[in-house]
Structure 1
Amino acid sequence: MTTRNRLFIALGATLVLVAMAQALPADGDSRGPAILSIFGKWHLLILHFPIALIFVLPALELWHPEAAPSRPVLLIANIAAGGTWLATALGILHGHFNGFSGTDVDDHSLLGIVATAEAGIAWALIGLGRRTRITLQCIAALGVAVAAHVGGEMVHDDGFLTEPSKPSVKETVTLDNFKGFSLVPSAHAATPDERRQAYEQAVRPILEAHCTACHDAKKSKGKLRLDSIEAIEKGGSEGAGLVWGKSTESRIVQRSTLPRSDEESMPPEPKKMLTAEQVAVIKGWIDGKAVSAVVAPKVTNIVKTYPNQSFSANDKVSEQADSIVKKLGVTANLRAVENDAGMIITTHAIVAQFSDKQLSTLAENAGDIAEMDLSRTRITDAGSAAIARFKKLEVLAVGETKVGDGFVKAAASLPHLRRLILRGTQVTDMGLMALSKSPELQAVYVAQTSCTAGGIAALQKARPDLKIVGAIQLVDIPVPPPPSKDEAIKKAAAAKEPKK
């Protein structure tokens, strides 16, 4: 077969895949015929063969340097090119007939087609010089690796081929993990703000642990996303995900309470099913009257919720909040609440705009801030110097950010810090041990970090009084009130007494 004919075959095969992807989009609907749905699932079996062979080809060429391709090289090139095309075709069927959708699914499909084209070109031009052959084979191997990386992220965590796996932390979720909630009828139906607060602090962690791997913006199987309240309300191809006030009619409850033997049971095997306690929390959140808002500190003044109107009669504090917002240069909501201890800052609505620069600016008012929730913002270890200025800070949440050991060491120096949430950060055992010197720290939350069991045990040995939490929920941490002035005076006097 001539090189020209091979190129025509490779081009034609690639165009067939492009046509398939256009005609059979991954739109989130599960559909028949069943035989095509089954064939699509074979993608997960077939894809490993061409991946292996694509990488073997250049290795063989380097191992046996010959001007013309050897018979084994020709055979493997034929199988690798054909196997890559088949794996991609089955992947398109899998996405279309088995209810997949999302940006990661689309990217995976596109990268699979590109990798197939590269493998086809390497096969078609295999009769050229040895250096050209190896170059084309390496390009094809790189294309396959990128496509496999995106596919791996859909099944596993982000950074599948680029980041080390995080050590697993045993997650225990019981009713005691939700002490901030009342699972008995409350005096009033939950307000939208209470529902959102309950979602962020109790429901969202459950869904992230069990559901969002298959139901978020990147991968939304059945057109269903469970990564926000709005997305759950919208639902997927089977309808709304929840019906407010009617948990038993809500699909997220119905599917999560089906027996494991039912093929509609969610989450699917091998993932663990939701516990009865987790289901109870979700049901309570949906029913509204069965779950009250998280227990919050006594609030004396609501300062402002931007860009809404002021709700405070305290002009001095309102002016201070105005000043903070102007300095930060953000356009979305910043919520500032004042209680007896100081100001509470939450950045949920401005996570994409809040970085180390905004943290440094916020530090100019560090003496007025008692609590900060900077979860999912863009802060890093570069903000260590800024965080060390918040000498009045008692509660700090930096979950799902890029902060690491340097930031934690700076936070450990804060004299009044009592609770620290590090969920999903880059902190390691080294940073964790720095907390042993944090004078007032009472609880730290370390799930989904790089902290090992040995590191946690070492910190617990150094600070037996410290509660180290690896469970899903953070509001279960009972933080006693700060010591009274009399207690503080007695403690200081005891520290000054000479040891016998």
Structure 2
Amino acid sequence: MSTLSVFLFSLVDFVGSFHPLLVHLPIGVLLLAALFQFLSQKEKYQSLASAVGISLFIGMLSAIASCISGYLLSGTGDYDEGLIFNHQWSGIALAIISIVAWYLNWKGKQITWITALMVFLIVLTGHFGGSITHGSDYLKRAFLAEASGQAEEKRKPIPNVQQAMAYQDVIKPILTSKCYKCHGPNKQKGKLRLDMPDFILKGGKGGKAIIAGNTDESELIKRILLSKESDDHMPPLEQPQLTKTELDLIHWWVSSGADFNKKVADLAQTEKIKPVLLSLQSEEKAEAALISDIPEKTVGQADAKIVQELLARGVAVIPVALNSNYLSVNFVALDSITAKDLQLLEQLSKQVIWLKIGDSNLDDNNLKSIVKLSSLTRLSIEKTAVSDAGIALLNGLPKL
């Protein structure tokens, strides 16, 4: 691809990205113009008649700009085509009607039904836009949440989790509540759709969302584990984040083969995942389940400066549970691990109990730093240069 083509594509993306900002301008200005026009018919407010024309003119221009930027944004392919079609053509109709309304006003004419049609199109276009960003049932969901007094639907307990379908009953509800807003039927950010098995297996622009049996190469898990400050972290920082239990369940499902048709009982289960699965049978939050490898003994908070340095390097550092000072550290986003990284890690020896440092340049020599993490209860070092002799060093970790 030539430099010019790259520049043009970048320009299209740049201009299109302004649509969410521009789209609110014609809504406000055209509604204001309609209000001015209505009030100016009363003798008391006739002075507002002069403001109608300028309001319609600004609203008309902003509606046209919104149409252009919206068309460019739709080319990214991140949104449902049906909803895009409705929103696009209602927006174009609104722009045309705003031009007609401005022209008639310029000629000194006021046609009430034109103004009424303009207001109707504002509402209709806004509704279609809301369906794109929040889902086609956003009004119904908002009403139900208000009626029930709950902002988020509570997950129903599973009567017998071992007989439940692993994907349908355990994994899909997590994806529905935490992923569908950006990767569902109405919007496919990065061309990734997670609401149906075929789409999940297909992946998106970033590659395969899941690779059965390989959590290290599954893009979905890698993105979830990234620092929340990272632009690639999933879900976005402003959206509800996955809980520790939800992440454990997705990790377990992928590592067990990511089968869409098997029951929970048919998939391999470690001793660590069993209590997490069992907690799904209770109405209590899964985080309350007993996780055997989290020490009961409390520990002081980690040095915030050290944690920030690791985060700045791209290392994922998160608490293992709510209100816990114990940490889970994941080096999945790093291409190579440096001596400085290991030195920082050593300073968190009391807090780090889960460490994932596989698929890296780790070897027997720098494994000596890992041995100093005396609180470790989980360690993942697959796809490294660590030899059997290096593995023997880990015998000095009593809790591993």
TM-score, normalization: structure 2? 0.55
Shift of 1:230: 1.4
Deviations 1:47-81 (A, max 9, x none): 22210122222221221118999321111010011
Distance apart, 1:271 and its partner CA: 0.6
Q: Give the Cα separation in 1 of the matches to 2:41 and 2:258.
A: 73
1:253-302: CA deviation from partner (whole Å, max 9, x where unpaired) = 12111111211111112013222321221122122269982469xxxxxx
- 1:293 is aligned to 263
Pair 1:140–1:172, CA change in 2 (3 A): closer
In 2, Cα distance between the equivalents of 1:230 and 1:31?
34
C-alpha contact 1:53 1:80 (8 A) present in aligned 2: yes
CA contact (8 A) 1:36 1:97 kept: no
Distance in structure 2 (CA, Å) of the matches to 1:40 and 1:229: 31
Percent identity (aligned):
22
Match of 1:137 among 105, 110, 115: 115
1:443-458 to 2 correspondence within 5 Å?
Answer: none
Which residue matches 2:166? 198
Aligned runs of 1:398-417 on 2, under 5 Å?
none
SS in structure 1 at match of 2:181: coil
1:297-446 superposed matches below 5 A = none
Shift of residue 180, structure 1, vs aligned partner: 5.3
CA distance in 2, matches of 1:51, 1:160: 20
Q: Is 2:232 aligned against 1:264?
A: yes
Shift of 1:92: 2.3
| Amino acid in the other structure paired with 1:49 | L
- Cα gap change, 1:290/1:158 in structure 2, threshold over 3 Å: closer, same or farther? closer
- Structure 2 unaligned runs (5+)? 1-5, 267-279, 288-400
| 1:94 correspondence with 2:73 | yes
Aligned position for 1:79: 58
How far off its partner does 1:99 sit? 4.3
What's the counterpart of residue 150 of structure 2?
A: 168
Q: State the alpha-carbon separation in 1 of the partners of residues 237 and 89 from structure 2.
A: 28
Q: Tell me the equivalent position of 1:284.
A: 252
Does the CA contact (< 8 Å) of 1:244 and 1:286 recur in 2?
A: yes
- Quickly say closer, same or farther: Cα 1:243–1:161, change in 2 above 3 A: closer
1:59 maps to what in 2? 35
Cα 1:99–1:31 change in 2 (3 A) is farther
Q: Which amino acid aligns with 1:152?
A: G
Distance of 2:8 and 2:285 partners within structure 1: 41
**Equivalent residue for 2:198?**
230
Distance of 2:139 and 2:252 partners within structure 1: 39
Secondary structure of the residue aligned to 2:165 is: helix
In structure 2, the partner of 1:313 is none
Whole-angstrom distance in 2 between the partners of 1:152 and 1:50: 16
Asked if structure 2 preserves the Cα contact closer than 8 Å seen for 1:244 and 1:288, the reply is: yes
Distance 1:258 1:77 in 2: 47
Normalised TM-score (structure 1): 0.45
Partners of 1:42 and 1:252 in 2: CA distance: 28
Query: Does 2:31 match 1:49?
Result: no
Cα separation, partners in 2 of 1:216 and 1:181, compared to 1, 3 Å: same
Deviation track 1:208-239 (CA, whole Å, cap 9, x = no partner) reads 11111121222222221110111101122333
Contact kept in structure 1, 2:40 and 2:48, CA below 8 Å: no
- Relative distance call for 1:227 and 1:290 in structure 2 (3 A) is closer
Is 1:247 aligned to 2:226, yes or no? no
Contact 1:54 1:137 (C-alpha < 8 Å) held by counterparts = no
What displacement does 1:128 show?
A: 5.9
Letter in 2 for 1:252: L
Q: Which amino acid aligns with 2:92?
A: I
Give, in whole Å, the separation in 2 of the partners of 1:290 and 1:42: 39
Could you say if the C-alpha distance between residues 139 and 160 of structure 1 is closer, same or farther in structure 2, counting changes exceeding 3 Å?
A: farther
Summarize the Cα distance change of 1:249–1:142 in structure 2 as closer, same or farther, 3 Å threshold.
same
Confirm or deny that 1:214 pairs with 2:182: yes
Residue correspondences, number: 260
Cα deviation code 1:311-361 (max 9, x no counterpart): xxxxxxxxxxxxxxxxxxxxxxxxxxxxxxxxxxxxxxxxxxxxxxxxxxx
RMSD of aligned residue pairs (Cα, Å): 3.9
Mapped pair 1:147 → 2:117: no
CA contact (8 A) 2:178 2:235 kept: yes
Indicate how the Cα distance of structure 1 residues 139 and 471 shifts in structure 2: closer, same or farther if over 3 A, else same: farther
C-alpha distance in structure 1 between counterparts of 2:134 and 2:78, whole Å: 18
1:458-473 aligned at under 5 Å gives the runs: 469=283
* C-alpha distance in 2 between matches for 1:60 and 1:224: 45
Q: What's the CA shift string for 1:464-492, capped at 9, x where partnerless?
A: xxx9949699xxxxxxxxxxxxxxxxxxx
CA change 1:472–1:65 in 2 (3 A) is farther
Higher helix share: 2
Cα deviation code 1:403-452 (max 9, x no counterpart): xxxxxxxxxxxxxxxxxxxxxxxxxxxxxxxxxxxxxxxxxx9xxxxxxx
Change (3 A) 1:101 1:228: same
